[in-house]
Amino acid sequence: MSGKKIEKKHHNTFETLKETDNTGREFWTARKLAKILEYSEYRHFLPVIEKAKQGCQNSGHKVQDHFEDFLGMVEIGSGAKRELPDVKLSRYACYLIVQNGDPTKPVIANGQTYFAIQTRRQELADDETFQKLKEDEKRLFLRDELKEHNKQLVETAQQAGVRNNLDFAIFLNHGYKGLYGGLDAKGIHKRKGLKKSQQILDHMGSTELAANLFRATQTEEKLRRENIKGKAKANRAHYEVGTKVRQTMQELGGTMPEDMPTPAKSTRQLARKQKKLEGGE
C-alpha cells in the first residue's frame, strides 16, 4: 500500500472511531484508540494518557473537560463483553496523546497530523469571537497569527540547520509544494496573478491563510518533536506536512488552495484602513 493510501486509511479510521454522546459532543474512547495506535496492551497506554493529562493541565485547560473516566463494555473474546474502566477523550486529548507517541510509526505520524489539523479547525469553529468576525477581520487575525508562527518556524528551522536566507527560501518552497500540489512560491505568485512586489500571504482569503497556518505550526512542532537536524531532512519534513494538510483538505471535500479566489484587497490594505478608522475614533 502506498504512503498516501496508508495516510488516507489512518485518517478515515480516526474519523470512524469518533463517537457522540447524548448532547452531541464528540469523543474517542481510550481503549479503541490504543488498539489503533498499535499498543499491544491497554496498560501500556495508561502512562501516555497520564502524560497527556499533564500536558493538558500545563496548557491551562481543565483536565476533566477533555478526559472523562467511565465504565465501558469491552469485548473479551467469543462475543462476550465485560465492563472495564475506560476514558472518553476529546479531540484535544487525542491530539495530546499522539504528540507523545513514536513518530516513526506511520499510524502515530498520521495521527499527529490528523488531530493537530482537526483540533485547530475545531478551535476556530468553536471560537464565538472569531466566528462573529467578518471575512476581512478573519483575514487580518489569521495573517497576524501566521506572522508570529512564521517567526517561530524560522527559529526552529535554524536550529535544524536551515541557516541563511537562501536555505530558508528553499525550505519554505518545500512546504508550499506540498500544500499547493507542486507549486513553489513563484508558481503560486503567478497562479494568483500578483505583481512582483506583492506578497503571497497578503493576498489570501481566511481559509487559505488557515491552511498555511496549519502548515507552519505543524512543521515547527514536527521539527522540534523529532529533533530533526540537517537542511535536507528539514525540507522533507516541511514538504510532508504540507502534503498532509492538502490531503486533509481533499478528504473533507474542500477547494484546493491554488484554486481559492484571490481577495480584491490585500491584508496590508485592510490593516491601513483599520488603522485610519481607529485613528478617527
Per domain, the residue ranges of the chain are: 3-95, 134-271
Strands (E), 140-237: none
CA distance 173 to 167: 10
Residue 1 pLDDT exceeds 60: no
With beta carbons less than 8 A apart as the criterion, state whether 257 and 249 touch. Answer: yes
Residue 98 pLDDT exceeds 90: no
Beta bridge partners of 84: 72
Position 12 scores a pLDDT of 58
Question: In 59-102, which residue ranges form alpha helices assigned H by DSSP?
Answer: 91-99
**How does residue 15 score in pLDDT terms, banded at 50, 70 and 90?**
confident
Q: Which three cell numbers stand for residue 96?
A: 495530546
pLDDT digits (tens, 9 = 90+) for 28-72: 999 999 988 888 899 999 999 999 998 888 878 899 999 999 988
CA distance 206 to 143: 8
CA distance 169 to 53: 38
CA distance 262 to 128: 26
Beta bridge partners of 70: 86
Residue 97 pLDDT exceeds 50: yes
Of all residues in the chain, what percent are helix, strand and coil, respectively (each to 5)? 65, 10, 25
> pTM for this one?
0.60
Please state the separation of Cα 262 from the chain's center in Å.
23
Residue 184 pLDDT exceeds 90: yes
Region 106-125: mean pLDDT is: 67
Position 213 scores a pLDDT of 92
Q: Please classify residue 129 by burial: count the beta carbons closer than 10 Å to its beta carbon, then call 0-12 exposed, 13-18 middle and 19+ buried.
A: exposed
Q: Which residue has the cell 480516526?
A: 14
